[in-house]
């Protein structure tokens, strides 16, 4: 007798939908979130919304301020730099392990995704391109054969995606980022793992280099554009 698969709860559904809305930029960084409005939007009670927001807080996607309310996360310039450092540590470890354990499969998978990214970029399918960008980095963890690393990345993946969506509004960012994805593949195909890691470091650091460390809130992009810088 087969076990009956339990359907997802309303809390699970609300969590998935809210996570997607934040990571895909439907809610802006720093935007206030109303339990009632979210409940009305999903046509459910506020209880599953509260559970969803609690999970989003664990994942760092929302911030709760007493007497003020719940807001989509945002970061200072320094916070973004620290977050990029943490992401680089995880992705470097995953990339090295994936290359050591399945280099051929890694290159094949990344190349396939990169060509899909190229088509999406040419067609100006921005949302599809960003989803493929996420898939590209996720592949390193899928092939590293270490579920501890994969789980660690899963907890920040939506936050990475939200930041990528927000900063991906700049076409120059997308173009340079796309080129770096290709450079990593070339290095891996030729066995130059250290070069691939150096490109990954520069690639991940692209976002925090967009802002000066003293920027108080990256959500106010209009105020920080004078600090936009890209050294290569």
Predicted local distance difference test score (pLDDT) of residue 82? 94
139, pLDDT greater than 60: yes
The structural domains of the chain, with segments of one domain joined by +, span 10-72, 77-227
What Cα–Cα distance (Å) separates residue 172 from each residue in 39, 127, 168, 211? 38, 16, 9, 15
Predicted local distance difference test score (pLDDT) of residue 228? 43
Structure tokens of 93?
A: 């470890």
Predicted local distance difference test score (pLDDT) of residue 172? 61
User: What CATH number does the domain located at 77-227 have?
Assistant: 1.20.120.530
Residue with tokens 């993946």: 157
Contacts of 132 (CB under 8 A, 6+ apart): 113, 116, 117, 120
**Per-residue pLDDT tens digits for 152-198:** 999 999 999 998 888 766 666 778 889 999 999 999 999 999 999 99
- Residue 27 DSSP SS3: coil
The predicted model scores a pTM of 0.83
**Bigger pLDDT: 1 or 119?**
119
Predicted local distance difference test score (pLDDT) of residue 225? 44
Contacts of 87 (CB under 8 A, 6+ apart): 156, 160, 204
- Residue 3 DSSP SS3: coil
Query: CA 211, CA 232: separation in Å to the nearest integer?
Result: 15
Predicted local distance difference test score (pLDDT) of residue 3? 64
Query: Is 10-72's fold the same as 77-227's?
Result: no
* Least confident window among 104-108, 141-145, 183-187, 206-210: 206-210
* Least confident window among 41-45, 48-52, 219-223, 227-231: 227-231
Mean pLDDT of 127-153: 95
Q: Which CATH class is domain 10-72?
A: mainly alpha
What does pLDDT average to over the chain? 89
| Pairing state between β 69-72 and 62-65 | antiparallel
**Per-residue pLDDT tens digits for 75-115:** 998 999 999 999 999 999 999 999 999 999 999 999 999 99
């Amino acid at each position: 007798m087969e076990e009956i698969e339990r359907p997802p709860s309303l809390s699970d559904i609300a969590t998935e939908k809210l996570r997607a809305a934040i990571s895909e930029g439907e809610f802006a960084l720093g935007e206030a979130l109303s339990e009632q409005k979210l409940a009305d939007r999903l046509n459910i009670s506020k209880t599953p919304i509260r559970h969803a927001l609690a999970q989003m807080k664990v994942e760092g996607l929302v911030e709760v301020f007493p007497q003020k309310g719940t807001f989509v996360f945002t970061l200072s310039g320094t916070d973004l730099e620290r977050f990029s450092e943490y992401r680089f540590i995880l992705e470097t470890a995953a990339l090295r392990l994936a290359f050591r354990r399945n280099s051929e499969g890694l290159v094949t998978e990344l190349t396939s995704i990169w060509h899909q990214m190229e088509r999406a970029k040419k067609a100006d399918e921005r949302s599809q391109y960003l989803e493929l960008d996420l898939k590209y980095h996720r592949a390193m963890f899928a092939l590293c054969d270490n579920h501890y690393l994969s789980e660690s990345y899963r907890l920040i993946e939506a936050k990475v995606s939200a930041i990528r969506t927000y900063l991906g509004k700049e076409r120059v960012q997308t173009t340079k980022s796309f080129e770096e994805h290709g450079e990593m593949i070339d290095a891996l195909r030729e066995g130059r793992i250290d070069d691939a890691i150096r490109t990954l470091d520069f690639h991940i650091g692209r976002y925090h280099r967009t802002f000066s460390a003293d920027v108080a809130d990256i959500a106010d992009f209009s105020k920080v554009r004078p600090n936009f810088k890209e050294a290569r």
